[in-house]
Amino acid sequence: MNDTNDASLFSDDAEPDVAVSPEAPAPVLPEALVREFEELATHYPERRAALIPALHRCQEELGGWLTPDMLEACAELFGLEPVEVFGVASFYPMFHLRPVGRHVVGVCHNIACDLRGAEDILARACSVTGCEPGGTSADQRFTVVRLECQGACTAAPMMDVDGIYHENLSEEDVERILGGMA
């Protein structure tokens, strides 16, 4: 159930917090995100249900991966122990718990894509970006990962670049799409 005590720590009418002091570090979760999460929590009878959507938003807005500080801040916001939030975040493949490159490239290697050349697509994605599968390029531009089925089976092979699907790929397409990315 909603824990109003915890919520008040982050709401607008709380006492002026340390953020006004010039020496204090910026809060891990920007105020706009906290407000967004408070609204999200109203969709459910229990606050915790907003946790996974909130972790998505943290990852999208705050640098592409979930730092321990973000997990702790979410734990506090949702009235959970940090280890519970870590347990959730580490269960789901879409959450990155280590730094990633500026662009995250995922290549589906499941059966429908495998039958239509996924390994060649992956190899080309790695050679264009200078990544090993699962790794980040030395210039921090790219991370390339293997993905399980993305539901693009009738348009195989596919890759996901920063959340956008690219389907019916040839190796030349990979070169063209990734080659021009800063």
Partner 1 sequence: MSKYETYLLNRSGLADSHTLDVYRENEGYQALEKVLKGGFTPGQVIQLVKDSGLRGRGGAGFPTGLKWSFMPDPEKDKRSRYLAVNADESEPGTCKDRVLMDEDPHGLIEGILIACYAMRVGAAYIYVRGEYRHSYDRVAAAIDEARRAGLVGKDILGSGFDCEIWMHKGAGAYICGEETGLMESLEGKRGHPRPKPPFPAGFGLWGQPTTVNNVETLQNVPYVILRGADWFKSMGTEKSPGNILVGISGHVVRPGVYELPLGLSAKEILDDFAGGIWKGRQLKAWIPGGSSTGFLPASMIGVAMDHDSLKEAGSMLGTAAMMMLDETACTVRSMEVISRFYEHESCGQCSQCREGTEWLHQIFRRLEHGQGRLEDVELLSSLASGMAPGKTICALADAAAIPTHAIVKHFRDEMEAHVTHKGCPLRGGDDSTSARKQVEVNA
Return residues touching partner 1 (CB under 8 A).
Answer: 43-46, 48-53, 55-56, 78, 87-88, 91-95, 109-112, 114-116, 148-156, 160, 163-165
Only one residue has tokens 């500080």, namely 69
Residues β-bridged to residue 143: 104, 136
143 or 150: CB nearest partner 1: 150
* Among 56, 50, 12, 13, residue whose Cα is nearest residue 31: 12
24 or 94: CB nearest partner 1: 94
Per residue in 86-107, is it b (16+ CB within 10 Å) or e — as a string? bebbeeeeebbeeebbbbbbbb
**Shortest distance, position 162 Cβ to partner 1, whole Å:** 10
Q: What is the distance between the alpha carbons of residues 62 and 105, in angstroms, rounded to a whole number? A: 18
**Shortest distance, position 56 Cβ to partner 1, whole Å:** 6
73 or 112: CB nearest partner 1: 112
20 or 91: CB nearest partner 1: 91
**Shortest distance, position 98 Cβ to partner 1, whole Å:** 16
